[in-house]
Structure formats: structure tokens, C-alpha cells
């Protein structure tokens, strides 16, 4: 059974305190792994796509990495505006936009 598990469920960081969010997956035929950011009351906002193990993508204070079983979203020196829920999703072979999402990690960055 396809599964995407994110940990931790919630994370509180002091401003400037770097950390990592984890997304582990068990799927057949991974086409891609995606990270989205969701602010309260808003729709998810696309951040990254990773296609193969060893791939890395960076955007400002965020860096996403991928292995054969999991992905990490590293947050370096976070700021309060990085507070959001970060969602991990996978695409399997049956359809490009049929994304299977995890339940997310709710990040709070305290000034």
C-alpha cells in the first residue's frame, strides 16, 4: 500500500535554529516527490520537485534532498515568516497530477 509519512507532526524552533523535516515514503513506481508549503486558510504553494535519489534543490533558506526511501527538507536559520505547514507529496505511475500527500509538519518559528 502506498504510504507517505511525515515527521515530526509539529516543530517549534527559535529564530535562527536550523532543523530538518522528514518525509518517508513507500510507493510503487515513484515518478516524483514534491514539497509544498501551506499557510493557514490558504492553498498549498509549490516549493520543489525531486525525481531521483541524490537530487537536491535549494530555495532561500530551504533545501530538499531525496534518497530511495525518504526526503528531507532542511531549514537553515529560519525566520518567523517560515512558519507554515510543510507538505510532502509523491506522484506514482498512474497519473502525473494524482499526488499522494502526507499529513504535513506544522512549523512554528519563534522570534
Contacts with another protein by CB under 8 A lie at 4, 31-32, 34, 41-46, 49, 87, 89, 91, 94-104
C-alpha cell at 73: 527538507
Angle at the Cα of 38 from the Cα atoms of 69 and 109, rounded to 5 degrees: 90
Closest CB to another protein among residues 67, 94: 94
The least distance separating another protein from the CB of residue 72, rounded to whole angstroms, comes to 18
The least distance separating another protein from the CB of residue 12, rounded to whole angstroms, comes to 17
Closest CB to another protein among residues 13, 87: 87
The least distance separating another protein from the CB of residue 66, rounded to whole angstroms, comes to 13
The least distance separating another protein from the CB of residue 49, rounded to whole angstroms, comes to 6
Closest CB to another protein among residues 65, 91: 91
Amino acid at each position: 500500500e502506498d504510504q507517505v509519512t511525515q515527521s515530526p507532526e509539529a516543530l517549534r524552533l527559535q529564530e535562527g535554529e536550523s532543523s530538518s523535516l522528514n518525509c518517508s515514503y513507500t510507493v510503487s513506481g515513484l515518478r516524483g516527490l514534491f514539497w509544498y508549503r501551506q499557510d493557514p486558510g490558504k492553498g498549498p504553494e509549490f516549493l520543489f520537485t525531486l525525481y531521483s535519489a541524490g537530487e537536491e534543490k535549494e530555495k532561500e533558506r530551504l533545501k530538499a534532498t531525496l534518497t530511495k526511501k525518504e526526503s528531507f527538507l532542511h531549514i537553515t536559520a529560519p525566520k518567523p515568516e517560515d512558519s507554515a505547514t510543510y507538505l510532502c507529496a509523491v506522484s506514482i505511475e498512474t497519473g502525473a497530477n494524482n499526488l499522494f500527500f502526507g499529513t504535513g509538519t506544522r512549523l512554528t518559528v519563534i522570534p
